[in-house]
Amino acid sequence: MKEFDYIILGAGCAGLSLAYELDINKKLKDKTLAIVEIRDEYKRDKTWSFWKVIDHNFEKCVIKSWNNFSINSELGSHEVINKDFPYQTIDSGLFYKTILNQLTQNKNIQFFKNSEQLNLENSFIFNSIPSNNIDRSNIWQHFKGIEIETSGDIFDDEIFNLMDFGCEQRDNVHFFYTLPFKKNKALIETTWISKMDDKTLMDYDIQLEKYIKETLRIKNYKINYQEEGAIPLFYPKNKIEKNKINIGSAGGMTRLSTGYTFLNIQEHSKYISNNIEKIKDKKIYHIGKKI
């Protein structure tokens, strides 16, 4: 059995953010860290966007930032200028690469595919692996996004569309979300807020095609990338254990009213790093009001 001071279970957004925060703040100089991650390879799998209300470590992974946004409903389009808090988008592929390049240089960090060889008893554990107990009858934000590219310039890349409610609601809450990265490239997402036990809302491809062709009036486009997800809009039920802290979505870092999680993960990572020497005795971190 191998022993480490700290173990991070799951190296996605939260696990990697925490490891990076510990590394850049030299918290691993005399401590060892095992990172357990099941995936075989890292590639872009998510597009993280958020209002930049606080600083974070990943400015160089930001692929686009906007100060203007619109919200559409059947009553029309409402445009808002927001100079104080830009809306930023991070490419997860760049994020993974940046962090892994940094972490692999630290000899006190080792990566594992599973925790079989690790002594979990004597280490402090940061867990981001979601529980298997998925409550599909609770409320989720579920969505599919595609990044499309057009041959001509179609989008106004100075303004993004936060929510377009001019679409069928099917007795739930439904909107489209468009992030124009360039004049000919945008991520378009269909998003539902509903229970997850009703599969009839998940004809995402049909919804996206209809929206792009009929609402945005784009006839020809190619799909460069796609992502699909479901964010629980309820707090996870996790057992409290004395040598373990849950982080990321598993640790309740999602703002339930919006689904935003990325910046809360960054704040939580900073809190843990700042208090790592006495983390066992610190009170459990809860997300603040502004993010």
Ligand X SMILES: Cc1cc2nc3c(=O)[nH]c(=O)nc-3n(C[C@H](O)[C@H](O)[C@H](O)COP(=O)(O)OP(=O)(O)OC[C@H]3O[C@@H](n4cnc5c(N)ncnc54)[C@H](O)[C@@H]3O)c2cc1C
129 binds ligand X (CB under 6 A): yes
- Angle ∠(91,103,107) on CA atoms, nearest 5: 170
In angstroms, what is the minimal distance from the CB of 130 to ligand X? 7
Question: Residue 12's closest CA among 108, 96, 116?
Answer: 96
Cβ-proximal residue to ligand X, closest one: 12
Among 38, 53, 134, 206, binds ligand X (CB under 6 A): 38
Q: How far is the CB of 94 from ligand X (least distance, A)?
A: 14
Using the rule CB under 6 A, give the single segment among 44-52, 161-169, 200-208, 275-283 that binds ligand X.
44-52
Decide: 53 and 135 in contact? Cβ < 8 Å.
no
Stretch that binds ligand X, among 7-15, 26-34, 52-60, 207-215 (CB under 6 A): 7-15
CB of 112 to ligand X, least distance (A): 9
Q: Is 11 in the site for ligand X (CB under 6 A)?
A: yes
Q: In angstroms, give the least distance from the CB of 149 to ligand X.
A: 19
Total site size for ligand X, rule CB under 6 A: 27
Closest CB 8 distance from ligand X, rounded Å: 9
13 contributes a contact to ligand X by CB under 6 A: yes
Q: CB under 6 A: which stretch of 45-53, 68-76, 191-199, 268-276 binds ligand X?
A: 45-53
Among 7, 19, 23, 37, indicate the residue that binds ligand X (CB under 6 A): 37
Q: What is the 3-state secondary structure (H, E, C) of the chain?
A: CECCCEEEECCCHHHHHHHHHHHHCCCCCCCCEEEECCCCCCCCCCEEEEECCCCCCCHHHEEEEECEEEEEECCEEEEEECCCCCEEEEEHHHHHHHHHHHHCCCCCEEEECCCCCECCCCCEEEECCCCCCCCCCCEEEEEEEEEEECCCCCCCCCEEEEEECCCCCCCCEEEEEEEEEECCEEEEEEEEEEECCCHHHCCHHHHHHHHHHHHCCCCCCEEEEEEEEEEECCCCCCCCCCCEEECHHHHCCCCCCCCCCHHHHHHHHHHHHHCHHHHHHCCCCCCCCCC
User: What's the closest the beta carbon of residue 190 comes to ligand X, in angstroms?
Assistant: 12
User: Cα separation of 81 and 84, whole Å?
Assistant: 9
Of positions 4, 15, 164, 190, contacts ligand X by CB under 6 A: 15
> Which x/- pattern, by CB under 6 A, does the window 224-263 give for ligand X?
---x-x-x----------------xxx---------xxx-
Which letter, b or e, does each residue of 254-264 get, where b requires 16 or more Cβ atoms within 10 Å of its Cβ? bbeeebbbbbb
Interacting residue with ligand X among 48, 69, 87, 175 (CB under 6 A): 48
Provide, rounded to whole angstroms, the least separation between the CB of residue 267 and ligand X: 12
Contact between 290 and ligand X per CB under 6 A? no
46 binding ligand X? (CB under 6 A): yes
Report phi then psi at 233, rounded to 5: -100, 45
Please report whether residue 202 would count as binding ligand X according to CB under 6 A: no
Q: How far is the CB of 14 from ligand X (least distance, A)?
A: 3
Binding site for ligand X (CB under 6 A): 10-15, 36-39, 46-50, 128-129, 227, 229, 231, 248-250, 260-262, 265
